[in-house]
Chain A
Amino acid sequence: MDLNRKLSSLQEISKAQLSKILSIVTATKYVVLEPSIIRPLERVCGVKWLKSNGVEKIFKLEPTCPSFENSSVFYMIFSNLAKFRQVVDQIHSQISQDNPPKNKYHIIVVPRYLNYFQDELEELGLYSVIKLHSFQWFPLHLDTGILSLELPNIYKSLFLQLDYTFLPLLSRALWNLFFVIGKPRFIVALGEYSNKILSQVDILIEDKGDCDKLDSDIGGIVLIDRNFDYPSALLTPGTYAALLNEVYGVTCGICEYKEESVDEKKEDRLHPVIKKQPVNFMLDSNQDLVYADIKNRYFTEVTSVLSTLTKQLKTEKVQSKEMALDEIKSYVQNKLQATKSRKKCITNHLLAAETIINVLGSRYETQQEVESDIIKNTNKSTNFSYAEEGLCVEDDACVTLRLFCLLCVTQKLSESEVKSFWRKFVHQFGFSCSFAHRYLINAGFIPEPIVASSSLNLQSKIRLPKFISNEFYSNANRFKQIPPNPEKINLKFPTCASYVFGGIYIPLITQIASMILNATPIDEIKSKLGGLGLMTIRNDMGFPLQRRSLLIFMVGGVTYAEIAACNLLETLTGAKIVILSDKIINGNNLMKEILS
């Protein structure tokens, strides 16, 4: 059975799970959805399916509550205490304290409710009045070979707050996936969280059951923590899909931007805000053949491809004007619809490309130069000055913080440089960003400040930064991630995965996948990967891979650039690589979470 078809059908299982929850109430029900859950839910089951499963009306969660009459209500929210409290307050205001209705109010928490949610209900005397349900959908097959859980806040929780709350849901997702594709015989786990996920999967298999398939569809799996390769998320990408995500933001595989009404405050800003063209399309290679062609191309090629396609359309139009009547009939019957949708696709992509050029164009050249210098480990002081100047010149918190983080991970900044930058940062963007300092320390970008010796607290230790020496460059060289001559990399017809970053850097997961698919001796793999950090390799006679397919699970979010690099590797090796993550991110997403 074709793996892609299997992955596209995963939602049948999610629907079965949701159906089981909804069938607790046999009468008609209403559903109230938190706004941010609507898009992923559309891909899981869609409105029609809900309506065919006894859901009479669907509402959006708003401050004012609609009247539910006698129907049961299912609220659906992401696992967040503030949201939970909002829903509980809304329910509380509707019921009478003396005679609360039973089995009327339900809250479905995605992916799971926490025990202290129940404590909240207990305190309010609502423990038996509101029923809680956990619902975790299967990974969404957003596009060929891309599986995403589309769950928010996982990076923030794991890497910024250093909190284990979401680990079990990641392990449960993987365990669930194994039931469908089988558990591979070759498993690599890199990083603290990847290893914990693996041990939790072991517990689930031991206590709850294992897949009954003898053979796996996947030759091997690599689990890796996001913090093993920050540069892939922080560098400015060059491929079309990645740039779409950078400029517009893509959620659940949909790129949408509505024209905003002119905001007076924005007009007043010193740094002019660049207008974005409104767009709305799905990043789906199966439906949008134009997208399938250009998604992984380097951006400079995209514009020429789009103009060629536009010319083709024009010639088609000209030709159609000269058709004979029966030709027209055949054209209208067979080709017109396809042409119309192609035209719509091309228009969308043209607008998007135009916006990308407008938004990024002005600083793209200098930015590329600086990033190239950073990866080559040259011109450190110029790079730092550029970052500091950027605070005023770009006036964009995410963009400047991102460059700062990149410098911290690669060329390393001194304590005084960090202090100087941070002070200017909070001056520029407000003291409300102060808390981000703690997140930067937790994520390992900057070291914990050294405790003053006059402190009476003898327990305080000097916490060294995680990467003490110039580990980044030695690791990158070990995995050959930095091409010696970036200018010579062919961006038009790429043969080197570094093209995703303009030739300067190859994502780590691509190099690891390459090692495994090329059957590098296992001892060499072990010694190389061991140098990166906490590592587990389980080889149950699964190496060299029996099936030339690999599943890569990136814990903390994966970028379109990394996906494109792996797609190229697929083409070069003839293997299949499926990428699974909690979310598709870009560097600005990470920065927004740091600043939240």
Chain B
Amino acid sequence: MASNEDFWNESSSSKFDFGDDEEDSSYTQGDCFAANVQENIPLQIDSIISNKCLKIILDETDSTVEHVVAPAEETIRRMFHAENFMLNTYRSFENKLQLLDAAIDIGDGNIIITVILFLSKTLNNNKFFTQLSRRKVAVRHYANYLIEKNSLQELADLYMATGHISYMKDIYCLLSKDIPNQNVQKLKQFNRDHSRELHTSEDKTEIQEILALLDFQIKHKLNSKSVIEQLINLCRSEWSRGNGDDVNNFKKLFKIDDFQFEWVEMSVLCKMQNWEKLIATFTKSVWVIKKKRALKSVIRPELFVVGISRHNPPEYVTEQFLSCISDASKVLYLAEKLKIHKIVVNYHVEQKDKTSLLKYMERVEPSSPAWFAIQSSLNNTDIKWKN
């Protein structure tokens, strides 16, 4: 608002200045106000009110007075010892910050949260978040508290306002922890609102995958905990019906790692005891050597054999895959461990190692086919034993 002087000088109405008429004292005398002039000069204050009453009125004047508050460290210590405390006397900004810093200093999370909650109620958001953002410890404690209370919207506000944008993905993870299908909309909404803030491409991909899995499950009315579990269920249902297109599509959708995919394929086929398909899928012929087949998989042959052995396959299946291993010592080791006698026997016969063969015979059940095989090899006069 312009000063009184300006107003008077710039007014569109005619100027009226008490000062103008000062020389013309008769004017004031003869004016319509003249009759009341005597009453206009104020009386002395002590003639209208006694000193005592004046003092009462003056004492009533209400100006803010800065309270003397106990030092922040003292109050924090009282809180530490679970003694009574009053935070609402800490009204000045400086005092509040001293309180917060003292709380962080003493290292008691309970006190830090109490002070933060006090500040959140007595400071506006702007000031509150600015000060918080300068104290990482405070942000962490407040965030933990909000997570405990499941106040995820406030958590998002906190992260945004204090520059912890990389933490936004955490909220998404919390939201998606155990959600019934209806909350998918909530997740999608969150993604739309905050996708700009997800700054790493891995975060974006992960969130898109979460949504994709949920959509897939809703569409097909399925329910599994993870991508791989879903894949397993798909494989089972698809392959028992015969086709496998959906499985491949699913793999492409999530860009499932080859190792994981093939391990699932192998395990499901074993569980379904579909040995022919197992062999067909995972072996290929080596074009130079007839009858020899190689493993067609990213899985190491030794690991593959260990994997199928868990499902107790027929011996010929294990033998088939054992023969894909190039390292003879590894083959021997696994064959002995898995009790595939034929391979062990053949190995020792090929090595013309009679001692090892005899030793191995002790581990074989008497009168079993393997036992007879060993006997016939031992009795075979064509073999020239080394030992």
Contacts and interface: CB of A to CB of B under 8 A. Distances in A.
Nearest to B107: A196
B165 A460 contact: yes
A419 B77 CA distance: 45
Interface in B230-284: 232, 254, 256-257, 259-260, 263-264, 267-268, 271
Nearest to B257: A424
Nearest to B81: A207
B170 A163 contact: no
Contacts of A437: 173
Contact of B114 (A115, A164, A449): A115
Nearest to A167: B107
Contacts of A464: none
Interface stretch (A28-36, A342-350, A387-395): A387-395
Contact of A451 (B166, B170, B176, B306): B166
Contacts of A427: 226-228, 254, 256-257, 260
Task: Classify chain A's interface size.
Answer: 35 or more
Contact of B176 (A164, A196, A434): A434
A272 interface: yes
Interface stretch (B144-152, B320-328, B369-377): B144-152
A431 B210 contact: yes
Interface string B166-182: 11011011101110000
Contact of B226 (A388, A428, A459): A428
Interface string B99-127: 00000001111111110010000000000
Interface string B37-55: 0000000000000000000
Nearest to A448: B166
The A interface, classified by DSSP as helix, strand, loop or mixed, is: helix
Given A272-B310, A393-B307, A449-B200, A163 B109 contact: yes
B165 A164 contact: no
A203 interface: yes
A432 interface: yes
Interface string A422-453: 01101111111011011000000000110110
Interface of A: 81-82, 112, 114-116, 119, 134, 157, 161-168, 196, 199-200, 203, 207-208, 270-272, 388-389, 391-393, 419, 423-424, 426-432, 434-435, 437-438, 448-449, 451-452, 454-455, 457, 459-460
Which 3 residue pairs across A and B have the least CB separation, nearest first? A165-B109, A430-B226, A164-B109
Interface of B: 77, 80-82, 106-114, 117, 133, 137, 140-141, 144-145, 148-149, 163, 165-167, 169-170, 172-174, 176-178, 199-200, 202, 206, 209-210, 213, 225-229, 232, 254, 256-257, 259-260, 263-264, 267-268, 271, 303, 306-307, 310
27 contacts: A161-B144, A163-B144, A164-B107, A164-B109, A166-B109, A168-B80, A168-B107, A199-B107, A203-B106, A207-B81, A389-B303, A391-B260, A392-B228, A392-B264, A393-B263, A423-B202, A426-B206, A426-B226, A427-B226, A428-B226, A431-B210, A431-B226, A434-B173, A435-B173, A448-B166, A459-B133, A460-B163
